[in-house]
Structure 1
Amino acid sequence: MFRHHPARGRRTAGLLVTALATLSAGLAAVAPAPPAHADTATLGELAEAKGRYFGSATDNPELSDTRYTQILGSEFGQITVGNTMKWQYTEPSRGRFDYTAAEEIVDLAESNGQSVRGHTLVWHNQLPSWVGDVPAGELLDVMRNHITHEVDHFKGRLIHWDVVNEAFEEDGSRRQSVFQQKIGDSYIAEAFKAARAADPDAKLYYNDYNIEGIGPKSDAVYEMVKSFKARGVPIDGVGMQAHLIAGQVPASIQRNIQRFADLGVDVALTELDIRMTLPRTAAKDAQQADDYGAVVRACLAVSRCVGITLWDYTDKYSWVPSVFPGEGAALPWDENFAKKPAYHAIAAALSGGGPAPGGDCTATYRVTSRWQGGFTAEVTVRNEHSAPITGWTVTWTLPGGQSIGNVWNGNLTVNGRNVTVRNAGYNGTLGGGGSTTFGLQGQGAADIPADVTCTPGQSAGTPAQ
């Protein structure tokens, strides 16, 4: 599991935790049909077509979950070892190295043809206790030795190393870690030099949170990178963790990525998730989807933004609820591995940001009331793109024992267990980002259908097929 230090604002994931807090009764955001232009491509494949990677972090406890590993191995082109490359695991006692757990993940990624990012060599957290006891005069050599040993062990197998992680405070001052206190400002540059000597081919990154937008902390990192480039310190990239909040993506994110790129370094979004206040609602899902799309487009707009990594991909294993009580649902797959609207927003952005002919829409189904033998539900239809759509059709398969009595704000057709609802005459046209709702009354258990999809472009009164 990941241990994580509490902090204000967005935080990096330390130790992946178990399941996301259960969603409020009856709520499910159901994945829309994939865009027509991306219906057979994975996120990894779509990113590769743009000259980027799209990946996920993972941790060893999740690897016994076969459904999880199937998606992990098929959807992504890159893996980050979220936990077990950290110092407490790789050098638990001085001079004794153990890469068994990290190797399990690297081996899995290699068997799937996925590239691997190394995370992380020097961090103030998740250190074995003995590091703090090292005398000041010895710590630089201890740090160099740790970096040299670990980087050399994985030499030739990793594309990136997060060499130093989270060395700055929010105001741009240096974090007073054991390395800062006992070695001083030079420890970051010395860490990069040791990593370069151990593997000249791996790209070396500085990684931090709350540096996605322009502000005191990102300014301090910018000045450090600028100084390193001027002094010949071997830095190749900056990792912006991107632990974000729905509705609060920094407006300056693309401009900030570009200014780092202009220094001559690559940029990667290394730990992306976008959390919300629970419980989930259709409106929150829609905002989150917009935000994921915006972040992906910001990366694609800068040629030196080389890739994006989710901090694990499913709410089932998100770190967020354990660190931010009352918040969660931060990832593009829910805790049952269903794709959320965010997934399709990412796919659309990676495909070029344009909708399929006529636009794309999503349908989010939630139960609004229930009683013995019946229920009511509401479905929110949303146009996910800037171009308007004229007409929409929502379909799903009735769960066993369920039937639909009537629908309002839509036109209902039922063929066996196949349900089709088309727009009414007055709510078929949706502007960019616009939404509408229809309601229904059903009989039977209030089970939520698993395959609710939305298709744009069919107007009210279109005969059922």
Structure 2
Amino acid sequence: MARANVSQLTPEWEMKMEYILADGLDRPNFDRSDRIAAFARAEAMAMHGHTLIWYAQGKEAFAGLSGAAFDRAFDGYIATVAGRYRGKVRSWDVVNEPILDDGSGMRDCHWSARYGHDGYILRAFEKARIADPDAVLFLNEYNQESVPAKGAQFLKLVERLLKAGCPLQGLGLQSHLWIDIPDGVIAAYVREISQFGLPIHVSELDCTLRTENRLDLRSQADRIAAQGARVTELASAFAALPKAQQFAFTVWGLRDTDSWYRQGDKDDGKDKPLPFDSFGRPNPMAAAIAAGFETPA
């Protein structure tokens, strides 16, 4: 399926710090990420590195480190990972998800405790630029296009980083959508974020049919129609961007059964968050993506 439908790969887990440093800072594990990189190269696919620094990972590996030792480990990790894939990846998510869910501010984490909320981001981008001068460096976040306060916080962060001289070169919209996002909100945000003139990566697209409303009695067909409207709106808004800003349009998996929404005991077997079903047949979401690219906003 990937060979027929994909021109760029993003490892979902294998390049994250929790996997690479599972055995500790002194024993990084690149077995799976190396295999993915080799596959991408053999199939003439681009590769997007995901992710160097994430608030949710690294605390255990860095436990007990402070001061200069923490700095050496932080800088060294980025140099080792980004340096290993220099020339093999097109781009990196340098920092992932720095903003609180409600958009009220920046997340506190082990990185910000040492360098400050903006400081750890600046340091990560600076070290990534040194390690891989040719890669496009992205800041990646979710729910900007669907939670107005979070979108506003993201825009403010980008402004601060650019003003501080951060080598930030691209903006990642994860686009984990849901069917009840109001009409027009996604397109409006894409237009707003495009004003920076930076490349935009729809980096982790999926769209669940689930809602948190237990009294939602819509049929499966109605849910799929709502999903199609949201996905088409996103694809159309992306296709309307200047070509130089259309970096990539990435889905977070191909088949429904591969999705994180279909894992665990909450899976009822009915969600269809991705473009293909478990047999590799196109879902309505595939048509929704195509429709968006055929009719840019």
Fold similarity call, TM over 0.5: yes
Report what 2:215 is aligned to: none
Residues 83-128 of structure 1: CA deviation (Å, up to 9, x unaligned): 1111122233123222111011111112111111100000122436
Report what 2:155 is aligned to: 222
State how far apart, in whole Å, the 1-side matches of 2:254 and 2:3 are: 12
> Does residue 74 of the first structure (1) align with residue 1 of the second (2)?
no
> Does residue 103 of the first structure (1) align with residue 34 of the second (2)?
yes
Q: Describe the shift of the 1:136–1:250 C-alpha distance in structure 2 as closer, same or farther (beyond 3 A).
A: farther
Of 271, 281, 297 in structure 2, the residue corresponding to residue 338 of structure 1 is 281
> Does residue 178 of the first structure (1) align with residue 110 of the second (2)?
yes
What amino acid sits opposite 1:240 in the alignment?
L
User: What are the within-5 Å matches in structure 2 for residues 212-361 of structure 1?
Assistant: 212-213=145-146, 215-248=148-181, 251-277=184-210, 281-303=220-242, 304-322=245-263, 325=266, 328-352=271-295
Residues 176-221 of structure 1: CA deviation (Å, up to 9, x unaligned): 1111123222111000000001111101011111112462222222
What's the CA shift for 1:281? 2.0
Report what 1:33 is aligned to: none
- Contact 1:240/1:270 (<8 A) preserved: yes
Report what 1:141 is aligned to: 72
State how far apart, in whole Å, the 1-side matches of 2:183 and 2:25 are: 42
User: What are the within-5 Å matches in structure 2 for residues 353-392 of structure 1?
Assistant: none
State how far apart, in whole Å, the 2-side matches of 1:87 and 1:180 are: 17
SS at match of 1:129: coil
State how far apart, in whole Å, the 2-side matches of 1:198 and 1:218 are: 30
Unaligned runs of 5+ in 2: 212-217
What amino acid sits opposite 1:156 in the alignment?
G
SS at match of 1:345: helix
Report what 1:404 is aligned to: none
SS at match of 2:285: helix
Report what 2:92 is aligned to: 161
State how far apart, in whole Å, the 1-side matches of 2:94 and 2:264 are: 24
What amino acid sits opposite 1:111 in the alignment?
A
State how far apart, in whole Å, the 2-side matches of 1:139 and 1:188 are: 15
State how far apart, in whole Å, the 1-side matches of 2:103 and 2:286 are: 34
Question: How many residues get paired?
Answer: 284
What amino acid sits opposite 1:309 in the alignment?
T
TM-score (norm 2): 0.88
Q: Describe the shift of the 1:308–1:193 C-alpha distance in structure 2 as closer, same or farther (beyond 3 A).
A: same
- Contact 1:136/1:183 (<8 A) preserved: no
What's the CA shift for 1:242? 0.7
What's the CA shift for 1:323? 7.1
State how far apart, in whole Å, the 2-side matches of 1:118 and 1:78 are: 11
Residues 233-277 of structure 1: CA deviation (Å, up to 9, x unaligned): 100011111111123266332332233222232211110000012
> Does residue 209 of the first structure (1) align with residue 142 of the second (2)?
yes
> Does residue 190 of the first structure (1) align with residue 190 of the second (2)?
no
State how far apart, in whole Å, the 2-side matches of 1:316 and 1:197 are: 39
Unaligned runs of 5+ in 1: 1-70, 355-465
- Contact 1:242/1:272 (<8 A) preserved: yes
Residues 266-321 of structure 1: CA deviation (Å, up to 9, x unaligned): 21111000001299722222222222211100111122232211010111111013
What's the CA shift for 1:335? 2.1
- Greater helix proportion: 2
TM-score (norm 1): 0.57
- Contact 1:285/1:340 (<8 A) preserved: no
Identity of aligned residues (%): 25
What amino acid sits opposite 1:120 in the alignment?
T
What amino acid sits opposite 1:283 in the alignment?
D
